[in-house]
Amino acid sequence: MPRKLIAGNWKMNCLKAEGIALARELGVRYAQDSDPEYDLLVCPPFPLIDAVAQAIAGSGVMLGAQDCHPGEKGAHTGDVAAPMLADLGCTHVIVGHSERRQDHKELDLEVAEKAKAVVRAGMTPIICIGETEEQRDAGETLTVCARQIAGSVADGLSSDTLVIAYEPVWAIGTGRTPTTADVAEVHALIRAELSRKVTDAENVAILYGGSVKPGNAEELMHVPNVDGALVGGASLAADDFWSIAQSSR
């Protein structure tokens, strides 16, 4: 079984002082845990990455980013390359989050290219997939997720260079979550589809994301094939994020 991963996606939140305080608090708690049994990851916005790296140094908390450009360097104003993130100590990069697919019209092929760039830079991509409410209502959840796995997961990856996050778009930031049976069904489908792409699909961590809170984490984190969480809103409060992480044990 993959080791559990609890990842905080801070999105476009936190000024420097708040981000440092949050990261320090998590670092202190994680460092005091003698056998955490799970990995803890924080993904701050780009301008805070270096400061957060210093705040969590030596604590065991890992650092990630929320996006990157597929290229290595060059004339791409405003973009950030994967090697720059690795250089600051990032181990993970979220790619293909539904907010990027929506706001920046990212398509599966570009997501796959970003994932490859992340791996080339020595880090692990967290590739996000998930259906919209319309697609769920039309009974298309499994086909959409299978299509996104086929298109967004670059070939040649293995469990140590790949994390998947299943995030139903309609569950993100809404307080609504699928039933545990629905989560189990989609995660089983994802694992099966991954076996067409990677040789050790059984070891790939598949996270659930979308309105994970202290009140529902225990239940969600123990659904078969759920290997952790990608947490947005609740990752901005140390107590809530910590409580979610404890629920994964």
Indicate the SS3 state at residue 235: helix
**R_g (Cα) of the chain, nearest Å:** 17
Overall size of the chain counted in residues: 249
For binding to ligand PGA (CB under 6 A), which residues are involved? 9, 167, 172-173, 209-212, 230-234
- The amino acid sitting at 122 is G
User: Which C-beta is closer to ligand PGA: that of 149 or that of 171?
Assistant: 171
Q: How far is the CB of 196 from ligand PGA (least distance, A)?
A: 26
Residue with tokens 């489908």: 189
Q: How far is the CB of 215 from ligand PGA (least distance, A)?
A: 13
Q: How far is the CB of 23 from ligand PGA (least distance, A)?
A: 18
Whether 167 sits among the annotated catalytic residues: the reply is: yes
Point out the catalytic residue in the list 97, 106, 131, 193: 97
Point out the catalytic residue in the list 167, 185, 187, 193: 167
Separation CA 207–CA 227 (nearest Å): 5
User: Which C-beta is closer to ligand PGA: that of 36 or that of 210?
Assistant: 210
**E-only strand ranges, 53-159:** 62-65, 92-95, 124-129
Q: What is the DSSP string of 142-187?
A: HHHHHHHHHHHS-TT--GGG-EEEE--GGGTTTS----HHHHHHHH
User: Which C-beta is closer to ligand PGA: that of 158 or that of 218?
Assistant: 218
- The amino acid sitting at 57 is A
CA distance to 47, 54, 60, 104, 112, per residue, from 145 (Å): 32, 37, 32, 20, 15
Q: How far is the CB of 230 from ligand PGA (least distance, A)?
A: 5
User: Which C-beta is closer to ligand PGA: that of 31 or that of 219?
Assistant: 219
Active site residues: 97, 167
